[in-house]
């Protein structure tokens, strides 16, 4: 019965994903450029001065949610959210909105790299890029807020042949969110809908392999249509593409 449920979930998810294949780009464009770690106002200028003239259709930006500050500021701190506030070293919410407006105006769509599988690793009492404070050892994230009950139990991923291990345990020791919780789903959906309201065209979903397809289907289904104020046709749905690392030796 469990195998049947997994199969049905996979079929539903695959069908739903097909409906998300429209990139929402202008008709004569088809390429997304990844401006990794760029500042929002620099991206806006790049859209206006270069990308639109070279036929680029979109920009993928680094994660926008407030992240924990790590010593020496490595790139991967951006993949450890401490809240869903839009404030990183790329800029704040006002600058993000400036970027989406200016890029959409010249036909360059914005796609956000979203981290919804987990929060931070164990960094003790830590501060984020927007000055939010979290007790990461005890899974207390008051700026969301999340608490210990919003996370899966402590375990490390060590068996990539086991779907439960891959999807319910901690990727690289990062506090693993419980996406089957209605409360957690609501917080994630609110975050994605805020980005839609701010003019994005879609999402690159980080660590998609580490979440249950049935949970992602529910979350994606609750994301609103794209904001027509930014030139999207009525009824347009966010374009969703997912990170799945496959080295050929995993069963997932």
43, two tokens = 């991206």
Token couple for 151: 């996370």
Looking at residue 182, its pLDDT comes to: 98
Asked whether 240 and 20 are in contact (CB, 8 A), the reply is yes
Q: Which CATH number does the domain 30-118+177-242 belong to among 3.20.20.80, 3.40.50.300, 3.40.50.150, 2.40.110.10?
A: 3.20.20.80
Cα–Cα distance between 9 and 137 in angstroms, integer?
Answer: 33
Residue 201 to residue 198: CA distance in whole angstroms: 10
Under 8 Å CB-to-CB from 11, ≥6 apart: which residues? none
Closest residue by Cα to residue 151 from 171, 176, 185, 184: 176
Question: Residue 66 catalytic?
Answer: no
In which band, very low, low, confident or very high, does the pLDDT at 202 lie, cut at 50, 70 and 90? very high
pLDDT digits (tens, 9 = 90+) for 212-248: 999 999 999 999 999 999 999 999 999 999 999 888 8
What 3-state DSSP class applies to 231? coil
pTM: 0.91
Domains of the chain, by residue range, sit at 30-118+177-242
**Res. 7: pLDDT tops 60:** no
pLDDT of residue 17: 46
What pLDDT sits at residue 246? 84
Is 95 annotated as catalytic?
no
Q: CA 76 → CA 69, 72, 108, 111, distances in Å?
A: 10, 11, 26, 19
Catalytic-labelled residue, pool 206, 217, 225, 246? 206
**62 CA to centre of own chain:** 9
Q: Which of 37, 94, 154, 243 is catalytic?
A: 243
Taking a C-beta distance cutoff of 8 angstroms, is the pair 125, 134 a contact? yes
Q: Which of 112, 90, 72 is nearest to 198 (CA)?
A: 112
- Gap between the Cα atoms of 160 and 89, Å rounded: 34
| pLDDT, tens only, 82-132 | 999 999 999 999 999 999 999 999 999 999 999 999 999 999 999 999 999
Contact 47, 59 (CB under 8 A): yes
CB atoms within 10 A of CB 99: 28
């Amino acid at each position: 019965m469990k195998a049947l449920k997994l199969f049905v979930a996979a079929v539903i998810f695959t069908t739903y994903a097909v409906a998300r294949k429209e990139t929402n780009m202008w008709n004569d464009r088809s390429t997304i450029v990844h401006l990794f770690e760029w500042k929002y106002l620099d991206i806006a200028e790049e859209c206006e001065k270069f990308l639109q003239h070279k036929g680029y259709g979109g920009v993928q930006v680094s994660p926008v949610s407030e992240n924990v500050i790590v010593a020496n500021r490595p790139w991967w701190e951006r993949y450890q959210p401490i809240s869903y506030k839009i404030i990183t070293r790329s800029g704040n919410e006002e600058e993000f909105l400036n970027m989406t407006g200016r890029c959409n105006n010249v036909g360059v769509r914005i796609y956000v790299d979203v981290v919804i599988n987990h929060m931070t690793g164990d960094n003790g009492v830590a501060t984020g890029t927007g000055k939010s404070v979290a007790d990461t050892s005890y899974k207390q994230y008051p700026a969301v807020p999340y608490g210990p009950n919003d996370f899966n139990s402590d375990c490390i991923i060590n068996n990539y042949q086991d779907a439960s291990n891959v999807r319910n345990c901690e990727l690289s020791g990062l506090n693993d969110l419980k996406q089957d919780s209605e409360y957690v789903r609501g917080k994630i959906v609110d975050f994605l809908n805020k980005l839609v309201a701010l003019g994005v065209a879609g999402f690159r979903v980080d660590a998609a392999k580490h979440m249950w397809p049935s949970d992602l289907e529910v979350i994606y289904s609750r994301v609103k249509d794209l904001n027509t104020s930014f030139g999207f046709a009525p009824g347009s749905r966010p374009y969703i593409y997912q990170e799945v690392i496959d080295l050929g030796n995993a069963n997932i």
